[in-house]
Amino acid sequence: MKPDVIVVGAGFSGAVMAERFASVANKHVLVLEQRSHIGGNCYDFKNEHGIVVHQYGPHLFHTSKEQVWQYLSQFTEWHRYEHEVLSRVDGNLVPLPFNLNTLDALYPAEEAKRIASLLVNEYGRDAKVPILKLKQSEHDTLRALGQLVYDKFFVNYTVKQWGCKPEDISPEVTARVPVVISRDNRYFHDHYQAIPSQGYTPMFEAMLSHQNIEVELNCNAVARLRLDAGSGAIYFDGERFDGKIIFTGMLDALFDYVAGELPYRSLKFKYETLPVEYYQPATTVNYPNEEAFTRITEFKHILPVTSAHTTIVKEYPQDFDRLDPEKNVPYYPVFTDQNQASHQRYQHQCNQFANLHVLGRLADYKYYNMDDAVANALAMFERIATDL
């Protein structure tokens, strides 16, 4: 099948674009994926105990975007799931984000009641107050609370996550960390919160099952593409390709790193299957202070299964290194002015090719939630489908 459209990457961005071009525009689509599986970092599988394991760490779907929910619901049934996180602080497991229940767990009852009353009076019930705002409060008690949340929950976790010094943490990052003045322990508050009932991989299989779609795995797409900046032409497997190319990978790799490598943080995962029914009381427990890993996730809490065993994963943040197979999965862009400027130079080079369209977490050098990636892909298809 000679393709009309080439999609590089079979994660959310690529899969949505491939499905739309195939089913709506009736185009022949070739999907090129460098890994041995589809689904990108959302790839999951059932292990020998029937537990659905997320190979690249937990992916928890939540959205308030009606269009995204309706679109994905064509390809999966859903298992309702509302995520709750605990944080290990001073030997106790307490709710995160920090809320009134966390307050009760860390303070004597009367003091917790007094601080809760201050918070409600100052900010209102159900408010989300950034810890930076608390740390700048004129009230000594609230200022001390902000400092406690910063010291016990935030600073050490962030240092591990980003590999930085405490003094290098941006105030803009601190300002996004809230204290929630409620007793709602849910981590997300979107209208739709659920997991594909059979896992993410079957959902991606359904998305890419159209007869107009061909998927090639274990494929180095960048090596098969040649971009001629002088003419604006793109060549695929040595022949000029005038159809649309949707690229969802790293732009620095596409252009052979001519403007330098774009830094990322990566993760190392240590999986353990244990002969116990459950290991911990919640899906995710954060370890901000005393461990080298940042959190432990237990998958049976996400899609429950009857088993005498359970599977957990510990996450160890690390620097990305494209040449090291233990560190070559990019997860989080490193947002600095210099890195953003480098990405803009690559984006400018993309603009020289009329039939090249880039999107997704890697290509845009942004950390998107899953629903953002789907929404962006649907919007891009609508924009570029008009000239088909």
| pLDDT digits 0-9 by tens, 272-330 | 999 999 999 999 999 999 999 999 999 999 999 999 999 999 999 999 999 999 999 99
pLDDT above 70: residue 388: no
Average pLDDT, the chain: 95
Residue 43 class from Cβ within 10 Å (0-12 exposed, 13-18 middle, 19+ buried)?
A: buried
| pLDDT digits 0-9 by tens, 334-354 | 888 899 999 999 999 999 999
pTM of the predicted structure, to 2 decimals: 0.94
Long-range contacts of 161-167 (CB under 8 A, 24+ apart): 161/265, 161/294, 161/317, 161/332, 162/265, 162/317, 162/332, 162/334, 163/265, 163/317, 163/318, 163/319
> Using the 8-state DSSP alphabet, how is residue 186 labeled?
B
What span, in angstroms and rounded, lies between the C-alpha atoms of 52 and 307?
Answer: 12
The predicted structure's pLDDT at residue 386:
74
Q: What distance lies between CA 310 and its chain's CA centroid? A: 24
Q: Rounded to the nearest 5°, which phi and psi values hold at 99?
A: -140, -170
Q: Give the residue with greater pLDDT, 176 vs 233.
A: 233
What span, in angstroms and rounded, lies between the C-alpha atoms of 337 and 342?
Answer: 9
The predicted structure's pLDDT at residue 168:
81
pLDDT above 70: residue 362: yes
| pLDDT digits 0-9 by tens, 308-318 | 999 999 999 99
| pLDDT digits 0-9 by tens, 87-118 | 999 999 999 999 999 999 999 999 999 999 99
Q: Which of 307, 86, 44, 342 is nearest to 200 (CA)?
A: 44
**Where exactly are the structural domains of the chain?**
5-80+195-262+332-387, 99-180
The predicted structure's pLDDT at residue 199:
98
Fold category of 5-80+195-262+332-387 in CATH: Rossmann fold (3.40.50)
Tokens 């774009």 found at: 262
Amino acid at 186: R
Up-side HSE of residue 44: CA atoms within 13 Å toward CB? 24
Q: In Å, how far are 11, 55, 147 from 43, measured between CA atoms?
A: 9, 6, 39
Amino acid at 388: L
pLDDT above 80: residue 58: yes
Residue 383 class from Cβ within 10 Å (0-12 exposed, 13-18 middle, 19+ buried)?
A: exposed
Taking residues 2-30, report their average pLDDT.
Answer: 97
